[in-house]
């Protein structure tokens, strides 16, 4: 079964600093990987996705993520954080195979606090 | 939000009563999902549907049932609500197996 681990429950960074949020997945085949962001009281918004090809993917709001198969990781990065980036971030993994395995599995999330 | 409407947005109900949450989409997507979100647990899949009348259980399906009689609607029923089912419930849709999920704005359910 697929699983996702986000090792950091809560991260605090200063505005303008760089950011890296960690995501490790467990899945036997080639995974589909996603990062979502959730602001308080809101639904989840897709930041970026990886299916195949270039292992460095660009997303919205200046975020990028790198797929590293050897490390089973899909870490999210941003070179300079803005106060509006304060939110909760979720990594998710989906299955490549067909049949009835249409599920996405989410990590428990990382809460990002941005200090002025 | 990608043509997804969840209703109601908020509900307070008593233990032991049945509750039905509705998810309506205007995107004609094949796949629909119900997740619950709780502090410290992230999002956990309750049930999902891969077509009309085709549904399957997720990881936390006990105490919940679903129905999908037409493409646009996916109903989640709590057969007899318990306090442990107090949560925020999110519906999501997906166009294909390689597409990302698109989420509704959630339903906050409180069981007293």
Contact A88, A109 (CB under 8 A): yes
Q: Summarize pLDDT for B74-87 with one digit per residue, the tens.
A: 999 999 999 999 99
Task: Identify residues of A whose CB sits under 8 angstroms from chain B CBs.
Answer: 32, 34, 36, 42-46, 49, 51, 90, 92, 94-95, 98, 100, 102-109
Q: Are A108 and B56 within 8 A, CB to CB?
A: no
| Nearest neighbour of A44 by CB, restricted to B31, B97, B103 | B103
Mean of per-residue pLDDT scores for chain B: 94
Q: Are B104 and A43 within 8 A, CB to CB?
A: yes
Give chain A's residues under pLDDT 50. Answer: 100
**In angstroms, what separates the C-alpha of B52 from chain A's closest C-alpha?**
14
Q: Summarize pLDDT for B5-37 with one digit per residue, the tens.
A: 999 999 999 999 999 999 999 999 999 999 999
Q: Is the pLDDT of residue B1 over 60?
A: no
CA separation (Å) from A36 to A28, A89, B18, B39? 23, 6, 32, 16
Contact A74, B26 (CB under 8 A): no
C-alpha A49 chain-centroid distance: 9
What's the confidence (pLDDT) of residue B2? 65
What's the confidence (pLDDT) of residue B90? 97
Q: Are B33 and A90 within 8 A, CB to CB?
A: no
Alpha carbon distance B61, A103 (integer Å): 14
What's the confidence (pLDDT) of residue A103? 78
Q: Summarize pLDDT for B39-57 with one digit per residue, the tens.
A: 888 899 999 998 999 999 9
Provide, as residue numbers in chain B, all residues whose Cβ is less than 8 Å from the Cβ of A108. 40-42
Q: Summarize pLDDT for B87-103 with one digit per residue, the tens.
A: 999 999 998 877 889 99
């Amino acid at each position: 079964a697929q699983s996702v681990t986000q090792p950091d429950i809560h991260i605090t960074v200063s505005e303008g600093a760089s950011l890296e949020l960690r995501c490790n997945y467990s899945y036997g085949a080639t995974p589909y990987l996603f990062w979502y962001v959730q602001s308080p009281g809101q639904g989840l918004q897709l930041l970026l996705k990886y299916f195949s090809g270039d292992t460095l993917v660009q997303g919205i709001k200046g975020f990028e993520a790198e797929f590293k198969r050897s490390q089973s990781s899909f870490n999210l990065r941003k070179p300079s954080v803005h106060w509006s980036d304060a939110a909760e971030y979720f990594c998710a993994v989906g299955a490549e195979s067909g049949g009835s395995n249409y599920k996405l599995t989410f990590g428990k999330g990382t809460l990002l606090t941005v200090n002025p | 939000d990608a043509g997804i409407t969840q209703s109601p947005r908020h509900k307070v109900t008593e233990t032991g009563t049945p509750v039905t949450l509705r998810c309506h989409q205007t995107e004609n997507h094949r796949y629909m999902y119900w997740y619950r979100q709780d502090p410290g647990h992230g999002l956990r899949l309750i049930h999902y549907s891969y077509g009309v009348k085709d549904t399957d259980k997720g990881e936390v399906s006990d105490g919940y049932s679903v129905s999908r009689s037409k493409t646009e609607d996916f109903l989640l029923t709590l057969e007899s609500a318990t306090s442990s089912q107090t949560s925020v419930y999110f519906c999501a849709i997906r166009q294909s197996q390689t597409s990302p999920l698109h989420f509704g704005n959630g339903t906050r359910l409180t069981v007293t």
